[in-house]
Amino acid sequence: MEFLPIFMNMRGRKALVVGGGVIASRKAELVAKAGAEIILVSPALAPAAADAVRDRGWRWIERGFRPTDLDGCDLVIAATDDEAVNRAVHDAARTRHLPVNVADQPALCSFILPAIIDRSPAVVAVSTGGRSPVLARYVKGLVERALPSRLGRVADFLGRLRPGIHRRLPETGARRRYWERLLEGAVPEQVRAGQDGAARDTAEILLNDMLQETAGDQTARRGRAWLVGAGPGDPELLTLKAQRLLQQADVVLFDRLVPLGVLEMCRREAEMVYVGKRSGDHVLPQAHISELLVRHVEAGRRVVRLKGGDPFIFGRGGEELEALVEAGLDFEVVPGVSAANGCAAYAGIPLTHRDHAQGVSFWTGHARDGELDLDWAAMNNPRQTQVFYMGAGNAPLIRENLLAHGVPPTMPVALVQAGTTDAQRVLRTSLHGLAETAADIDRSLPTLIIVGSVVNLRRGLGWFEGNAGNAAAVFPPHLSAPPGVTNDVRPA
């Protein structure tokens, strides 16, 4: 290791920065963030530095560097464009054994400033030993994405807990086991969700269990449920939060429409329970699913209830939450990309558009007792897009009702099947042709029906209309659909 990473307490200490340019002020900025008093030495100042002198009480000595400037300083930075000055600052600082950093000259640095991920009080510092600041920033980006949000809150919470735990669990090994178990359990999530009271309760239960040495993993922990949206198909559409929770789950209860790629992201040790249902042939009745959910959480497990798309859009998420509320259990809902959002984006059909549709409605096409009791009159609105979930089987009924309520037979319609997956198909037709087109599709795949003039914009946007080369020019490749997506376009 070329440099020893340490975190210095600069609160109320003095940092001398020689130079008044952009780099000098950027470095000074970082040191100031840690609470240091900044003294700039430079005949002139760039605007950023001048602003800080005016607004934030940085001191400015308006002349060239003199070794006596180092009197009373704790840290030194040289960032002028004059190599001789930089070297003079370095030499003077070394004579006094002061830590010194010279911009862009690693050989003259007794310390370097790392790239920083600041979730204060938790801070991650990344260094490449001054070799490649770009690589350091790249690594910083990777770490940034891997870290859960509100890490600072969690660090603060643990810090407050620490003195008490130190007192009540004096043995080092026991204390380490306690912290490890605490971090694996529900506490970090509770703190992130702002439920500090519940988190303190959970921490106390765990502590008591450990003190009584009854600390079996399952009983020590307070269970919790997360109702998580798995998105419409492409696993990359999962939220970062969902991904993290999947990797911490003890039990995952999942539906038929949860994409395989998402299931593959679950923690390897997690118990995977299929509770899928297809209209008609329910594997498990809704009441049993709710019961199962409650039972696992009561047993102290971290339970992820995974639902296709978004849990609160035709996902019956509300019913399962009621069961958890009745049982007095903790839960959280994590939204997902709903089929309408995913299909529209990957099919290139905007759901709203200034000139075509000022609104969009989501409807269920699932009939109860052969009846589709919807507000059909409201759908006769040329300036609004209608989206039907679960509607492929009832396409004739949807067509009949829309026509009967005055929607013109020429109204454009798109059926998006298995949207956002490798098997995506987009079938375009008109209201007139809806039933016939729907009769032609594979019923084992989920299908979304989009009705409205926005469907016509698909051509205007240049999406996959038989000219992939063009599509790539209009949309950068990373914005287009995953490889292998087929896009049948049938004449209306």
Name the site residues for ligand SAH (rule: CB under 6 A). Answer: 232-233, 257, 307-310, 313-315, 338-339, 343, 389-390, 416, 418-421, 446-448
* In the complex, minimum distance from the CB of residue 446 to ligand SAH, in angstroms, rounded to a whole number: 3
Query: Which of 255, 307, 310, 330 is flagged as catalytic?
Result: 255
Closest to ligand SAH by CB, 49 vs 418, is: 418
DSSP, collapsed to helix, strand or coil, labels residue 100 as strand
* In the complex, minimum distance from the CB of residue 398 to ligand SAH, in angstroms, rounded to a whole number: 12
CA distances from 176 to 147, 165, 198, 204, 291 (A): 21, 10, 22, 16, 36
CA distance 362 to 369: 21
Take residue 360 and report the two structure tokens written for it: 């969009």
Take residue 266 and report the two structure tokens written for it: 């679950």
Closest to ligand SAH by CB, 151 vs 387, is: 387
* Residue pair 434/394 in contact by the 8 Å Cβ criterion: no
Nearest residue (beta carbon) to ligand SAH: 309
User: Which residues fall within 8 angstroms of residue 492, CB to CB, at 6 or more apart?
Assistant: 410, 412, 428, 429, 430, 433
Query: Which of 14, 156, 277, 422 is flagged as catalytic?
Result: 277
* In the complex, minimum distance from the CB of residue 336 to ligand SAH, in angstroms, rounded to a whole number: 7
Closest to ligand SAH by CB, 115 vs 416, is: 416
* Residue pair 357/453 in contact by the 8 Å Cβ criterion: yes
Closest to ligand SAH by CB, 47 vs 483, is: 483
Closest to ligand SAH by CB, 17 vs 426, is: 426
Report which of 365, 255, 247, 263 is spatially closest to residue 305, judged by C-alpha positions.
255
- Check if 27 is active-site: no
- Check if 255 is active-site: yes
Closest to ligand SAH by CB, 207 vs 343, is: 343
Q: What is the DSSP string of 403-419?
A: HHTT--TT-EEEEEEST
CA distance 88 to 246: 56
* In the complex, minimum distance from the CB of residue 339 to ligand SAH, in angstroms, rounded to a whole number: 3
DSSP, collapsed to helix, strand or coil, labels residue 38 as strand
* In the complex, minimum distance from the CB of residue 488 to ligand SAH, in angstroms, rounded to a whole number: 14
**Count of Cβ atoms closer than 10 Å to residue 368 Cβ:** 8
* In the complex, minimum distance from the CB of residue 245 to ligand SAH, in angstroms, rounded to a whole number: 17
* In the complex, minimum distance from the CB of residue 414 to ligand SAH, in angstroms, rounded to a whole number: 11
Residue 6, classified by CB atoms within 10 Å of its CB into exposed (0-12), middle (13-18) or buried (19+), is exposed
CA distance 277 to 272: 16
Closest to ligand SAH by CB, 309 vs 412, is: 309
**Count of Cβ atoms closer than 10 Å to residue 349 Cβ:** 24
Q: Catalytic residue numbers?
A: 255, 277
